[in-house]
Structure 1
C-alpha cells in the first residue's frame, strides 16, 4: 500500500533539462521580489529578521537545486518535493504578512501550482491546488466579509479556487502529454536490436535504449547524465568517435572500432552518427546508433581465409588497372624518342620519364607480389623494444635535415619478446613510421611506445599529423588505397598481412585533439 502511494506521488518530468534551469533561475528572481515585498511591510525588527531567515533558507534551497541539476542533469524526487514545499511556504508567509487574501502576491500561488503540474505531474498539481485553496479559505474565513456585500467576498474566493484547479489541470495535462510521448519513443527504441544513445553538444548522455546498455554492459538507470567517454571507451585510449563527430561537426556512417566493455574481451562496434539541429540550424546534440559486429567479424575473417584465391583474383584486376597508366607513359615516351633523336634535351626528358615510370611499375608489381605471397616466416625470439630502437635510429639518420621533427621512444625496463620473423616485423615498423613522418610533412612529434599487457605486446605509433577521418580508417588497409599524390597504396596492406600471419592485430584510430595512433598487438612469447 505504502509503495503504491509513493509510486503514485513520484514526480514525473520528461521535458528538456533547459526548462529546469529556467525554472530555477525564475524561482530565485521571484524570491528576491518577495524578499523586497516582505521587507517593506515588516512591522518590527524581530519580525523582519524572521522573514529574512525564511527567505535566506529558500535561497539556499534554490541554489542547491541548481547545483544538483548541474551535477546530475536531473533532480531527485526528494529534492523536487522539498523545493516545492519551500516555494509554497515562502509564498504563503509572504501573503500572510502582506494583507492576506487581498495581498498583491496571491497570484504567486498560481505559479506554484503551475510549477508543480509541469515539473511533477497532474496529481501533484491537484495536491498543491488543494493546499492553496485551503490556505486561502483560512484567510477568507478569518476575515469578516463587508457587511454591505458579503456575497462578493466569497465570490472572490470561488474565482481563485477555480483558477487554482484550472492551472493544475492545464499544467498536469501538459506533463502527461510529454511523458506519454517520451514513453512511446522509449518503447520504440527499446524494441530495436541496435543500440541508440543521444548526447548533447558536450557529450553528456541524455537518453539510451536497452540494447545499448546490453552491448556496452551498462546498467540502464545509471547511464543518463554521464559523459559518453565514460561509457563508450575505445581500445588503447583512442578518442571516442562520438566526441570526434561533435568536435569535427561531421557525421560518420558504419565506422568500426573496438570498445572496452569491462569484460575480458573487447567488442567490435559499427557506429553511425547523426547530429541534431534546432529550427535555426544550431547543433543541439547527436544521435548515435551502433551494432555489435564481434561475431560478424569472426565470420568475416573465416570467409577471408577460405576465399584467399578469389581475393587474389580481384587484386589482379586492380593490379592491371594500376599497371595500365605507367605502361602507357613508357610507351608514349619511347614512341616520342623515335621521332626526337636529334634533340638531346628532349631525349633526356623522355628517358627520365621512362625510367621513373619503370620504377613505379616495379614498385606496383613488387608490392602486389609481397601482398599475394603467403607470408611464411621463420619463428624465432624477437625483442620488439630492440627493433623499435633500431627503427628510431634509422629514422633520425634519414631525416637529420628536418630540425622540426621530434621522435620519442618509450620502452619498458624489461624486453618485450614475441615469436616471429624479425625482418618482417622491422618492415612493419618502418612502414608505419615512414607514413607518420610523411603525414606530418617532416615536422611535429612522433611517439613510439612499447608495452606489455595481458600476455600481449603492444606497440603504439602516435603522430601529430592531420589524423584520419573515422569513415576512412577501415579503408587504409585495403590494397591500392592511398590518399598520397604519389603512392601505390600497398604499404599498410602488406603490414596487415604480416601482422595477421603473426597472429596479431593492427588498427588505426584518431587521437584526441588531432593526429593518428597506429596500434600493433602481437602475442607475447610464453
Structure 2
C-alpha cells in the first residue's frame, strides 16, 4: 500500500484467500479491503515507530460471503520514490483457530467430566436409598389421595434426578467401543419410532426420515450412534416449542468414499451466531429440560470416532447438525494398498 494506505499490489495468494479480484481492490484503502477494525488502524504509524510490525487475528468476510479468520501483519515499506508505504502480509488461519477452539473445549470437557463423575457418585447412593424407602412407604401406608399424589411427585422427581445423574456418568465415563457394521438409515428409523412414542413429541411435531438411494453403513458401536441421534433429535424437538418438522437423514459422504453423513434438521428457534461456538460446552442447554450435557455427550462421542460435527443455524428458521463419519479403517487400508 502507498503512503495513504491505498493498495498498489495484490498478489495471487491474496486474491485466492479473500476472493476479491485484483481490479476490484487496486487503489482502494487497505483498511477497507482487509476489513481492519478502527482500533487497529487508528494509531498505526505511531505503533510502527515503536515496533517493526503489528499483528492481528480478525474475522474476514470473503467476496463469496464465506467467513474465515485471517492472521495479518503490517510493516512499513520504503517505496522506490523515497516515500514510505505499508506491506500487509496475511494468511487464512481458520483451520488453526478451529483446532485451538477444539483443544480448549476438550480440556474443559475433561475437567467437567471429572467433576460430574465425582458429584454423581456422591449423590447416587443416598438418592437410591431415599427413592427405595419412598416406594416402600407408598406401598405399605394408607394414604389419602392428596398424600398419594405428593408421594408420586416425589418419586417422579427422584427418577428425573436419577436420569440427570445417568447423563453425568455417561458423559464422564470412558467410552467402550464395540464396533460393528451398522446400517445408519435403520438406526434413524428406529430412533424416529421411539421419538414418536416419547414424551418429547408434541402434537404439532412431525418426524421425517427420507429414504435415499443405496446403502449407508458406518463402523461404530450401535448404542453410541443411537445416543448421538437421540440427543440431536430431542434437542431439535425441544427447539420447536410451537411445532415443526424434524428430519433425520443419512447419505454416503461424497468427498470420502466409504464415509457417511448423518444429518438432523429442525425448524426451531435457531441459534445466534455468537452462541454457535459454545453449544457443545457442558450445561449450555437453553430449553429448560435435561441436564445440559446432551450436546456435550454428542461432541465427545463424535470425537472418539475421529468424526466431525458441523452446525448451521439461522435464528427463527432452524438448525442443521451434520455428523461426518470417516471410512472404516479396513476400507482406508484397502484403498491405500
> What TM-score does the superposition give when structure 2 sets the normalisation length?
0.61
Q: 1:182 to 1:491 in 2, by over 3 A?
A: closer
Q: Please tell me whether residue 394 in structure 1 is matched to residue 247 in structure 2.
A: no
Q: 1:346 offset after TM fit, Å?
A: 4.7
Q: Please tell me whether residue 506 in structure 1 is matched to residue 306 in structure 2.
A: no
Q: 1:381 offset after TM fit, Å?
A: 0.9
Rg larger for = 1
What is aligned with 2:206?
Answer: 406
Cα RMSD (Å)? 4.7
Q: Is the 8 A contact 1:481 1:488 kept in 2?
A: no
Q: 1:293 to 1:405 in 2, by over 3 A?
A: same
The structure 2 residue matched to 1:195, chosen from 45, 58, 72, is: 58
Any residues of structure 2 matched to 1:115-154 within 5 Å, and which? Answer: none
Q: Is the 8 A contact 2:185 2:250 kept in 1?
A: yes
CA distance in 1, matches of 2:267, 2:170: 29
CA distance in 2, matches of 1:436, 1:415: 25
What is aligned with 2:165?
Answer: 365
What is aligned with 2:299?
Answer: 496
CA distance in 1, matches of 2:217, 2:251: 11
| Structure with the higher strand share, 1 or 2 | 2
Any residues of structure 2 matched to 1:309-458 within 5 Å, and which? Answer: 310-316=111-117, 344-398=144-198, 404-441=204-241, 443-452=243-252, 453-455=254-256, 456-458=259-261
Q: 1:389 offset after TM fit, Å?
A: 2.5
Q: 1:436 to 1:311 in 2, by over 3 A?
A: closer
| Structure with the higher helix share, 1 or 2 | 1
Deviations 1:402-458 (A, max 9, x none): 563333323431112211112211221122222212321372122223222212422
Match of 1:410, SS state, is coil
Q: Please tell me whether residue 520 in structure 1 is matched to residue 320 in structure 2.
A: no
Match of 2:175, SS state, is coil
Match of 2:271, SS state, is coil
What is aligned with 2:17?
Answer: none
What is aligned with 1:226?
Answer: none
Q: Is the 8 A contact 1:511 1:517 kept in 2?
A: no
> What TM-score does the superposition give when structure 1 sets the normalisation length?
0.41
Q: 1:368 offset after TM fit, Å?
A: 1.2
Any residues of structure 2 matched to 1:23-422 within 5 Å, and which? Answer: 188=41, 192-195=55-58, 223=63, 230-232=64-66, 269=69, 292=93, 294-299=95-100, 301=102, 310-316=111-117, 344-398=144-198, 404-422=204-222
Q: 1:389 to 1:300 in 2, by over 3 A?
A: same
Which is worse superposed, 420-429 or 509-518?
509-518
Q: Is the 8 A contact 2:269 2:316 kept in 1?
A: no
Deviations 1:124-180 (A, max 9, x none): xxxxxxxxxxxxxxxxxxxxxxxxxxxxxxxxxxxxxxxxxxxxxxxxxxxxxx989
**Runs of 5+ consecutive residues of structure 2 not aligned to the other structure:** 1-5, 7-22, 45-53, 71-91, 332-337
What is aligned with 2:283?
Answer: 480
**Runs of 5+ consecutive residues of structure 1 not aligned to the other structure:** 1-11, 13-74, 77-177, 198-211, 217-222, 224-229, 234-258, 260-268, 271-290
Q: 1:311 offset after TM fit, Å?
A: 4.1
Higher relative contact order (CA 8 A, sep 6+): 2
Q: 1:353 to 1:409 in 2, by over 3 A?
A: closer
What is aligned with 1:464?
Answer: 267
Equivalenced residue count is: 264
Q: 1:192 to 1:295 in 2, by over 3 A?
A: same
Q: 1:366 to 1:457 in 2, by over 3 A?
A: same
Q: 1:355 offset after TM fit, Å?
A: 0.6
